[in-house]
């Protein structure tokens, strides 16, 4: 697979389609699995690591799902290419930064990714645009069955699927949705929402950028426990709370328009103004401003921008994407200048202007 060809597409998590996609960016399910006859990743020798990588790669590629996947040898990628895969949410940051034999198998739609030698020997992920946890679950279950019929997953009748960290043991499942919640942030209700989610054993994480600072108003909600409930129950546990959050966010957006029309219009217009005129801009600020413009478009306060364009800018202004599109490696300072130039060129092109 040529990574450069991926750069032209936006990837599944920013496709901007699917149910409730004004608020739900993507739905994701991942399964943690280990091969029974090897130590867990942190205890593997270099030889074990190489053998597990080869064992899983061969058995995945000879399965029927494997025929639709491209395999990338992450251990041999340049740093910028690993970063690129992180930005597309096809591998984790930990997987990008690890050492030794490891890889990822990805399908053409970028919905399915199988990470080899992450924290566990195998991490299967399935991502769908918008709110579609059920669809993502059905798909990953099929993939897991196919791989599992060729790979002896470490399993114990009492503890379920055995994982390197006891926080994942049992089902090994992490069910999550990425939500765009700008109005809950602006109306300062987001902390209250998070506290109530914690009480029902759900975890909330911001979307992180180059630093460790949360970016934009994007939040990931996921299950915290993996043992004692079935996979379906855990999918439901996350799925059940999403309509409630969507409703909160919609009401907060309506409140903003009704009660603070000038203020919110001013905020999104200023955000739009900066994006169109800045001469140098960080990835974090870009994401923050794009988030506000995205809300402005959805509220009908900005007329000449499409949501699909915003989504595409969200990914293309990230560091590795920016450099891939430009075709050269840039340091932070030059990236900020290039990012501002990219944004100006995009918005100068008018309503449907292509950045290329």
Partner 1 sequence: MKCQECDKQAVFHITELETGEVRELHLCEDHARTYLNQSESAEGDDDEKASGGGLTGPLTVGQTADELALLDKKACPMCGITFFEFRNQGRLGCPHDYVHFEKELEPLIANIHGAAQHTGRKPQRPQADEGSQLSEGSQLPEGTEELTTVIGLRRSMQEAIACEDYEQAREVRDGIRGIEDRWLPDAARDPGSPPAGPPTS
Q: Does 151 bind partner 1 (CB under 8 A)?
A: yes
Residue from the set 2, 64, 99, 157 that interacts with partner 1 by CB under 8 A: 157
Backbone region of residue 31 per phi and psi (left: phi > 0; alpha: psi in -120 to 50; beta: other values): beta
Q: What are phi and psi of 25, to 5 degrees?
A: -70, -50
**Stretch near partner 1 under the rule CB under 8 A, chosen from 2-10, 170-178, 296-304, 335-343:** 170-178
Cβ-based nearer residue to partner 1, 11 or 170: 170
Cβ-based nearer residue to partner 1, 213 or 230: 230
Binding mask 8-47 for partner 1 (x = CB under 8 A): --------------------------x-xxxxxxxx----
Between CA 290 and CA 252 the distance in angstroms is: 19
Residue 126 bridge partners (DSSP): 29, 112
Sign of the alpha-carbon dihedral angle for 294, 297, 131, 112: negative
**Stretch near partner 1 under the rule CB under 8 A, chosen from 96-104, 137-145, 280-288, 296-304:** 137-145
Q: Does 148 bind partner 1 (CB under 8 A)?
A: yes
**Stretch near partner 1 under the rule CB under 8 A, chosen from 7-15, 97-105, 225-233, 327-335:** 225-233
Q: How many CA atoms lie within 13 A of 214 on its CB side?
A: 11
Report the site for partner 1 in 309-348 (rule: CB under 8 A): none
Taking Cα atoms as reference points, which of 265, 349, 242 lies closest to residue 23? 242
Q: Does 156 bind partner 1 (CB under 8 A)?
A: yes
**Stretch near partner 1 under the rule CB under 8 A, chosen from 98-106, 167-175, 177-185, 298-306:** 167-175
Q: How many residues does the chain have?
A: 356
Q: Is the separation of the CB atoms in 106 and 3 below 8 Å?
A: no
Q: Does 61 bind partner 1 (CB under 8 A)?
A: no
Cβ-based nearer residue to partner 1, 104 or 197: 197
**Stretch near partner 1 under the rule CB under 8 A, chosen from 141-149, 277-285, 309-317, 335-343:** 141-149
CB of 172 to partner 1, least distance (A): 9
Cβ-based nearer residue to partner 1, 6 or 234: 234
- Rounded to 10 degrees, what is the CA torsion of 197, 199, 205, 211? 130
Report the site for partner 1 in 184-223 (rule: CB under 8 A): 195, 198-199, 201-203, 205
Taking Cα atoms as reference points, which of 230, 229, 205 lies closest to residue 218? 205
Q: Does 53 bind partner 1 (CB under 8 A)?
A: no
- Specify the 3-state DSSP secondary structure of 124: strand
Q: Is the separation of the CB atoms in 321 and 7 below 8 Å?
A: yes
Cβ-based nearer residue to partner 1, 237 or 291: 237
Q: Is the separation of the CB atoms in 320 and 81 below 8 Å?
A: yes
Cβ-based nearer residue to partner 1, 16 or 170: 170
R_g over Cα of the chain: 21
Q: Does 142 bind partner 1 (CB under 8 A)?
A: no
At a CB cut-off of 8 Å and minimum separation 6, what does 63 contact? Answer: 146, 147, 149, 150
Report the site for partner 1 in 235-294 (rule: CB under 8 A): none
**Stretch near partner 1 under the rule CB under 8 A, chosen from 125-133, 146-154, 272-280, 282-290:** 146-154
CA distances to 34, 109, 206, 261, 297 from 177, rounded to whole Å, are 25, 18, 12, 29, 22
> Which residues make up the interface to partner 1 (CB under 8 A)?
34, 36-43, 58, 119, 141, 144-145, 148-162, 164-167, 169-171, 173, 195, 198-199, 201-203, 205, 224-231
């Amino acid at each position: 697979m040529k990574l450069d060809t991926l750069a032209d597409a936006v990837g599944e998590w920013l496709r901007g389609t699917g149910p409730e996609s004004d608020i739900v960016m993507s739905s994701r399910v991942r399964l943690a699995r280990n091969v029974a006859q090897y130590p867990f990743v942190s205890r593997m020798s270099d030889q074990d690591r190489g053998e597990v990588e080869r064992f899983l790669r061969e058995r995945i590629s000879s399965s029927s799902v494997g025929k639709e996947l491209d395999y990338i040898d992450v251990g041999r990628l340049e740093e910028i290419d690993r970063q690129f895969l992180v930005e597309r949410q096809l591998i984790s940051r930990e997987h990008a930064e690890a050492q030794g034999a490891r890889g990822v198998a990805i399908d053409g739609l970028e919905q399915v990714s199988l990470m080899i030698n992450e924290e566990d020997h195998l991490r299967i992920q399935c991502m769908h645009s918008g709110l579609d946890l059920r669809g993502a679950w059905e798909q990953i279950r099929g993939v897991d069955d196919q791989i599992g019929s060729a790979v002896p997953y470490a399993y114990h009748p009492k503890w379920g699927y055995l994982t390197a960290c006891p926080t994942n043991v049992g089902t090994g499942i992490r069910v999550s949705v990425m939500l765009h919640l700008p109005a809950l942030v602006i109306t300062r209700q987001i902390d209250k929402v998070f506290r109530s989610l914690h009480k029902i054993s759900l975890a909330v994480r911001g979307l992180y950028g180059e630093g460790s600072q949360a970016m934009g108003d994007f939040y990931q909600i996921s299950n915290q426990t993996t043992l004692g409930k079935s996979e379906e129950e855990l999918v439901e546990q996350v799925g059940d709370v999403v309509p409630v959050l969507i409703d909160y966010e919609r009401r907060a957006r309506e409140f903003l328009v009704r009660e603070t029309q000038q203020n919110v219009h001013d905020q999104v217009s200023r955000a739009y103004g900066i994006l169109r005129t800045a001469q140098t801009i960080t990835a974090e600020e870009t994401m923050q401003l794009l988030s506000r413009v995205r809300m402005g478009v959805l509220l009908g306060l900005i007329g000449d921008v499409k949501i699909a364009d915003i989504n595409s800018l969200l990914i293309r202004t990230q560091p590795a994407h920016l450099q891939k599109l430009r075709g050269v490696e840039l340091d932070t300072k030059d990236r900020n200048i290039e990012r501002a130039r990219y944004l100006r060129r995009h918005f100068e092109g008018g309503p449907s202007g292509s950045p290329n």
